[in-house]
Structure formats: C-alpha cells, structure tokens
Structure 1
Amino acid sequence: MSIGVGGIRSSSIAFGADQLKSGRDNLNRDGILRSYFSWYYVSASLSAIISVTCIVYIQDKLGWRVGFGVPCMLMLLSAVLFFVASPFYVKLKAKESLLTGFAQVVAASYKNRHIELSSQATNEYYHYKKGAEFVKPTETLRFLNRACIIRNPQQDLGPEGRASDPWSICTIDQVEELKSLIKVIPLWSSGIMLCVTLGQSSIAVLQATTMDRHITPSFQIPAGSFNFFMIFTITIWITLYDRMIIPATSKIVGKPTYLGLKQRMGTGLIFSSASMASLAIIETIRRKRATEEGFSDDPQGVVKMSAMWLLAYHILSGLAEAFNVIG
C-alpha cells in the first residue's frame, strides 16, 4: 500500500497538470494551473471528509475488516477507471533521465575544475543543443558552468555536434536544470517543518479520546473524525479564495491580484506554528484537569473538558495546509 501511495501521490497531481499543457497557448497557463492545483486539493479534501466520517463510522460499528475492505474496493474502482480512460490522456514521454543528467553535470564540472571561467566567453565557448532555451549559462552557481565548456571541438564533440563523452561535457540545458534543482532545495526544505506539525494529528486523536466528544446527550463525534474540521477548513478556504477573494480584489485593483507563492507558503508556516501552539496550550489544560480529576494513571479516563477545544488546532492546521501545500 505504501508503494502504491508513493506512486499515486507523487505522480497524479503532475499528471493532471500535463493534461492542461496540450494544445493550449501559454497566455493564461499560469492562471489555469493555479486554479487546477487549488481544485485538485478541494476534490481530494472532499474525498477525505468522506473517509474521516463515513469510513471511520464503518470501522467503529462494523470492525476493521469491513473498514479496510471499503477503501480497498474504492482503490480497485479508481484503478479500473484510470485504465478505462487511459486512451484519452495526454502522455508525455520521458526523453532522458534527469538523475543521469545531474550526475553527468557533477562529474564533468569536477573533471574540468582546473579550467578558468571567463565572463567574456562567447556562445561558441559552450556546448548547447540547437533550439535550446539557453545558449549561454547563467552566472549563478558558476562553478557548474565548467561542465559545458568546449575545450577541444574535435575531441569533445561528435560529427552531429553531440558530446563524444557525456560524462566529460554536458549541454547548457543540463547545467541549468541542475542549478534549478539546487536553487529550489531551500524553498522545498521550508516545508519540512509543516510536515512535522501536520504529522502530530495522531496526538490530537489521542487527546480527543480522553475528552468529552458529545454533541448531544446521545451522540458523540468519533475521535478519528476530528480531522474532518481540518479538511473542511481547507475546502472552504480554497473555495472562498479562488471564487470570491481573487475575483473581488482583482476587480477592485483593476488587474489580476493574488498572493505570491512565497507569501502563501510563508503564511502557511505561520499558521502551522500557531496550530502547534494551540495544541500545546490545550494539552497543558487537559493534563492539569486529568490530574485534578484523578486520571493521572488512567489513560482511558475522560476528563470534564469539551473536545471542541481541539477545533482551534484543526482549523489552524487546515489554513496552514491550504496556504503552504498548494503554494
């Protein structure tokens, strides 16, 4: 199941974005992709709402076998639907391995480490493909530029202009791709802390089991269903932001107006910090109540404290994910 999820989660959202690239001009592509990513998470969130309500209820009432059997059948149905619709999909073929290209750039730049770099070098000084985006490498991370320097055209290049040894000389595009990866690592690493904070949701489930979860005298929310509030927050915020806030602000300003990606990611990190702070405060109060009521050595004891206090954590976590993850 982990292998399957690893394939689906890393590929499905990018595969969906590929469907929007074919046969379209690039004038409104950024706006289309922004909307797509938002509504992808809305649809995923709606599915998750069903899972933390209906599926959790089935597990509580009918047991784990049926509880796991229902998602298993749904996964089988999704696989069938995917292959039935396969003829209609846009399928971009991989031209070459990016990882191999990265390794070649590192190897070539190391082999050519003694070559002096010149900012006055002409285009003929570097190896590039015809029709490539770059005909000269950028000045950032300049030490990698050694990988695409032509030292001896007769030895380094073949008759068709290709590298005779791709581990000794690379194209400018390969170098720039590696630079792009290196430059995005700090931005990517900022999401590690968000994953840590959102990964604490199991603690909130344990907290909910020891708190009063009753809505009415005869009905109480299952502890595993409290994630509903986080997912519901994601869905509501994305809908409001995409359908109301952006159109309204754009109309007022007179041009397309929206939060930048870094602003969204930063706002999400602030909300994730606030969510953990709220969880810590609630846990401090809950533990104090448990001690006062004599449940210090009874993990099954239910304290006289409403589990609705946990909504602060779930709502803030939902906003954190809606801002950061989509950005």
Structure 2
Amino acid sequence: MDQEALLVGRTLLKRGIPTIPFILASQALEKLAYFGLVPNMILFLTVEYGMGTAEAANILFLWSAATNFFPLVGAFIADSYTGRFPLIGFGSSISLTGMVLLWLTTIIRPECDKLTNVCQPTTLLKSVLLYSFFALTAIGAGGVRSSCLAFAADQLQPNQTSRVTTSSLETLFNWYYFSVMVACFLSQSLLVFVQTTYGWQIGFGVSVAAMALSVALFFAASPYYVRFKCESGLVTGLFQVLVAAFRNRHVDLSSEEHIISYHHETGSSFSIPSQKLRYLNKACVTTNSKQDLALTGNSRNPWKLCRVQQVEDLKSLINVIPIWSTGIILSLVTACQVSFIVLQAKTMDRHTFIQGFEIPPGSYGIFLVISFLLFLGLYDLVIVPLLSWALREPFRLGVMVRMWAGYVISVLCISALAATEYARRKTARDESGTKLSAMWLLPYMILGGIAEALNTIAQNEFFYSELPKTMSSVATTLSSLNMAAASLISSWIITIVDVTTYGSWITENIDEGHLDYYYWLLVGLSLLNVLYFVWCKKSYGKCSI
C-alpha cells in the first residue's frame, strides 16, 4: 500500500477512528448471517433437496473450501488493483445477493403430480438458485474477509505522518475477535433456533436481514473512511522471485560468496541471502550491474533480477509451510464434522433440565465456542498468573508446545466422538425407542474448543513472528487456508470412503451405517499428524518465540 492516503470527508474529526465501529459491526453481521446458515444446511439439503448424506456433505465441504480460499485471492486483488473499500463493498453486496437467492428457494413450491400426489424434492430453478447461492457467498467472503480487519486498521492512520501504536492495534484486534465470537454464538443459538422452530423461510430470512443491515452499515460511513492507494503488492514480488530464479537457473552459485554480487536496497537488513533454499538465491544475483541495474540502482527487469529482501521473504513463507500444514488435520477434526454432528444430534435425546425445551441439533457447536472462550480466559487469567507466582518468574508456554498440546488433545477429541457414535448407534439398534442423551457430544465439544484455543492462537503467533513484518497480511490469512485445505481433504476422504465401502459407512439413515468407523479413521490420521508435527518442529529448528 502507498503511504499517501486518499482522505475522504470534510473534517479530520469525522474520519478514521469514528468509522471503526461501522466496520466491525458490518463484519460481525456478515459472520452472523453466514454462520447462521452453516449448521442446519446439511438438513436443508437432505430434506428439501432429497440429497444423500455423502453428497450433501461433499457439497458443504467444497463450499467451505471455496469460502476460506477466496479471501487469499481477495487480498491479492485488494492490494494490487482495487483497494480495500471497493472490494469489501463488492463482496458484501454479492453475499447479500446469494443469500436472497437461497431465501427464494424456500418460497418456490415443489412440482406435484395431481393424480399420484407425489412431489419432486427439487426443480431445475431451485437447483440453479442453490448453487448460485454457494458460488456468490464464497466469492463475497473473499471480498469481505480478506480486507475487513486491514481496512479497520487503516482508520487508525489518517495521514502519512501518523503512526499506529501497538496498544491501538491490540485493542482493535481484541474487539475484532470478540465481535466474531459473539456473532458465532448468536448464529449457532438464535438463528438455528429460529430455523428449527419457524422453518426455513423465516430462518433464512433472518440471515438475509442481517446481511442487508451489514451492507447498509458499511456504506453508511463511506464518505468518512480513510482509503489508501494501491500498487503492485507482495504476492507479485513472490512470483517475481520464482520467475527470476528459473530464468537465472544457469547461474553458478558454487563460487565463494564474496565474489558473487547480490542486488539489495541501501540500508536493507539483508545484503547477502541465507543458505537455506539456496536455489532461490539465483533470483538476486547480479551478473552485469550496468546491464541489470538502472541509474537509480533499481532492477531494470524485476522479473529477472529481484532484491535480496524479496528472496528472503519467499524463503520465510516456504519454511513455515510444513508447520502450517499440520493444522489441516486439526481443522478437519474440529471444524469439518459439523454436518455429521447435526445428523447425530438429531437422532439423540436433546431434552434439557428446562421442561419441554430441546436444544436444536444445529446449536451444539455453541459448546465448542464456549469451551474456546472459557479455556482462553482460564489460561490467561488463572493458569499463567498462578504458575508465574509459584515459579517466581514469568511463565509462558512456547508456541511449539501449545501447538503440540493442541494436536494431542485433538486425538482425544475425535476419539470421544467415535466412542459416542458407537454408543449412540448401539443404543438405537439394540434398544428400540431409546435414545442416547446428546450431552454425550459435550466431551468432543469441550476438547475441541481447548485444542482450537491452544493451537490456533499459537499458530497465528508463530506465523506473525516468523514471517517478515512486510508479510503480516499473509500471516493473518494462513489460518483460513487451513480450513480451506481441510474442507477439500474432507471431501476427498468422504468420496473415497463412500466408494471403497460401497456406501456402508456413511448412509442416509446413520443408524444403518458406521459413522464411528469414519471417526476412527480420523483418529488414525490425527495420531499420524502428531508424529508429523514432531518431525516438522525438529526440521524447522529454533523459532524466535
């Protein structure tokens, strides 16, 4: 981003910081609208569209993958072409359009044969509307989620001479994630309850209303936002390194380092590239300074000669990829099983101590959110202070230790779910009319929340500290890519399991299948992931935090 801001508005007092609540409220409502649709979507597809369980789950996995991948694409577009404000506006409007299309599917009556009174579960028009909803909301998420937090941070810097303090950024980040958690809480409780009690038409209508309010709030403050010009971004620089290294592949790096000249900026912290991933060093080797460099000292062709800093940035990103990949299985265990858990909860006894009240099947994910928040507060406010007092010195678990603990707990988490499913199925088949209490799902939810709290935050700290400050935006996007990759892998696993078992594990009636076998398969993958993480940690070496 260029440091010259295009300030919009009439007075300084009406720009910048006062607009942040509009941005945070807008993104919270977007999360509320989106996550309010996710839990019960498996029921909507199987009941209203007549899809099989495996087919519906695959569609939802692909939707989740696209929704979590497009923010990376959006970040590149915002940084290099459009800027953040236009992309957020476009993304939120597209998401609203998609949700309206989904709502329209609930008011289209099915086609019925008057003689036989048999109705088709879906029509071509309803299918077009449904898949258009999936596509538009995924694209819209790429616009909103790639730029919302960064755009809010822009409001803290109303001109090129001001500097954002660490405390201001920390406060902004805390309020951002707090608003996200509140949105998740309300979506999995209030919106799911409305859908379950009053039907799809009213339930989806609430999401449409929330998304419409999100769009209105965002554009309401548009005259007063701080906006920045955009130029060629970091992602372009990373691709330049790859292209330049390939074009200079014949350069010999076997000579002594002091003989080889490397292109670097004056005053840069990197004048000579590191020896890790040495092949990439060819991208910054100056073979003929008069031919390669302009009078200003800049490269004449950045696609043939890059700066040392660009090379080191790409190396840093490549080095953290193995550690990043270990988070895929955790996301697969805790986030990608929502659809199946809804199906399980639907067949279980969901009564509570409140007479006549049942917890909706899609609301059980709220216990994972509560577990996440409670453990986070307990760790920061109780465990760390107590251990610091007992040890007479500041206590802090390193990021690698917390990641490892999160992966170990994820094994226990999915094991608890497998055992619960075995008991649920056995009770349903052996004791006709008897249902296992849905409270047996709580161990999975509690352990899943703890695993996420330990691992997710530790991974974010690791990426933010290990990647260069110029790549902070990339660091904050990596966690969503974990979910995208996990969703794709989940889809592949479901397809492979369905084909190899001839549909005997994952069936339309889960009482007749073996969903517990599928969960035990995930237990095995989680165990392998713990060993894989240990190897990645040893290969990476010492980290800075």
How would you bin the TM-score normalised by the shorter chain?
Answer: 0.7 to 0.9
Distance 1:258 1:36, change over 3 A: farther
1:244 pairs with 2:375: no
Task: Give the whole-Å Cα distance in 2 for the aligned partners of 1:119 and 1:251.
Answer: 55
Match for residue 445 of structure 2? 314
Task: Give the whole-Å Cα distance in 1 for the aligned partners of 2:295 and 2:261.
Answer: 17
1:64 pairs with 2:195: no
Task: Give the whole-Å Cα distance in 2 for the aligned partners of 1:195 and 1:221.
Answer: 25
Task: Give the whole-Å Cα distance in 2 for the aligned partners of 1:284 and 1:229.
Answer: 21
Amino acid at match of 2:189: T
Distance 1:161 1:4, change over 3 A: same
Task: Give the whole-Å Cα distance in 1 for the aligned partners of 2:225 and 2:379.
Answer: 29
The alpha carbon displacement at 1:196 in A equals 1.2
The alpha carbon displacement at 1:218 in A equals 1.5
Gaps of 5+ in 1: 295-301
Query: Given that residues 123 and 135 in structure 1 are in contact (C-alpha distance below 8 angstroms), is that contact kept between their aligned partners in structure 2?
Result: no
Distance 1:181 1:90, change over 3 A: farther
CA deviations over 1:42-90 (Å, ceiling 9, x no partner): 4322221111111111112222122122222222323333344567766
Aligned length: 316
Distance 1:277 1:93, change over 3 A: farther
1:145 pairs with 2:281: yes
Match for residue 188 of structure 1? 324
| Worse-superposed segment, 75-84 or 127-136 | 75-84
Distance 1:317 1:62, change over 3 A: same
Match for residue 501 of structure 2? none
1:113 pairs with 2:249: yes
1:231 pairs with 2:393: no
The alpha carbon displacement at 1:7 in A equals 3.1
Match for residue 98 of structure 1? 234
**1:222 pairs with 349, 360, 369, which one?**
360
The alpha carbon displacement at 1:176 in A equals 1.0
Instruction: Map 1:1-327; keep pairs closer than 5 Å.
Output: 1-15=137-151, 23-24=163-164, 33=170, 40-85=176-221, 94-117=230-253, 120-122=256-258, 125-198=261-334, 199-216=336-353, 217-253=355-391, 256-294=394-432, 303-327=434-458
Amino acid at match of 1:207: Q
CA deviations over 1:252-280 (Å, ceiling 9, x no partner): 55555322223222222222222111110
Task: Give the whole-Å Cα distance in 1 for the aligned partners of 2:423 and 2:212.
Answer: 44
CA deviations over 1:227-275 (Å, ceiling 9, x no partner): 1111111111222233333444445555553222232222222222221
| Worse-superposed segment, 8-17 or 143-152 | 8-17
SS of structure 2 residue aligned to 1:6: helix
Distance 1:132 1:94, change over 3 A: farther
Amino acid at match of 1:200: Q
Gaps of 5+ in 2: 1-136, 459-545
Task: Give the whole-Å Cα distance in 2 for the aligned partners of 1:252 and 1:11.
Answer: 43
TM-score, reference length from structure 2: 0.53
Distance 1:8 1:259, change over 3 A: farther
Amino acid at match of 2:417: L
CA deviations over 1:264-306 (Å, ceiling 9, x no partner): 2222222222211111001111111121134xxxxxxx63311
SS of structure 2 residue aligned to 1:215: coil
Distance 1:24 1:118, change over 3 A: farther
Task: Give the whole-Å Cα distance in 2 for the aligned partners of 1:252 and 1:151.
Answer: 60
Task: Give the whole-Å Cα distance in 2 for the aligned partners of 1:19 and 1:324.
Answer: 30
Task: Give the whole-Å Cα distance in 2 for the aligned partners of 1:257 and 1:17.
Answer: 31
Task: Give the whole-Å Cα distance in 2 for the aligned partners of 1:113 and 1:124.
Answer: 15
Query: Given that residues 46 and 231 in structure 1 are in contact (C-alpha distance below 8 angstroms), is that contact kept between their aligned partners in structure 2?
Result: no
TM-score, reference length from structure 1: 0.85
| Worse-superposed segment, 201-210 or 123-132 | 123-132
SS of structure 1 residue aligned to 2:264: coil
Report % sequence identity.
45
Task: Give the whole-Å Cα distance in 2 for the aligned partners of 1:80 and 1:105.
Answer: 42
| Worse-superposed segment, 232-241 or 3-12 | 3-12
Amino acid at match of 2:412: A
